[in-house]
Amino acid sequence: MEHNPAAAWLAEAAGAAQRQEPGNLLRVVLVVMLVGCALTAWFLLRGYKRKDD
């Protein structure tokens, strides 16, 4: 079987999920929360843009 880097990366990621530390989960939650807040702010504030028609 020939070496497939994508499959190796996927297997390594699955193995990392098995040995995940509590700090990693907190980091993921914080990053998702920040991205969600940024997208929500963009969605709400884009309606306040003035149109010069």
Spell out the per-residue pLDDT of the chain, length 53, in tens.
566 676 676 677 666 656 666 788 899 999 999 999 999 999 998 877 766 55
pLDDT of residue 25: 83
d(C-alpha 45, C-alpha 42), whole Å:
5
d(C-alpha 7, C-alpha 14), whole Å:
11
Q: To 10 degrees, the CA torsion angle through 5, 9, 11, 13?
A: 180
**Cα→Cα distances 9→49, 51, 53, Å:** 43, 47, 51
pLDDT of residue 10: 64
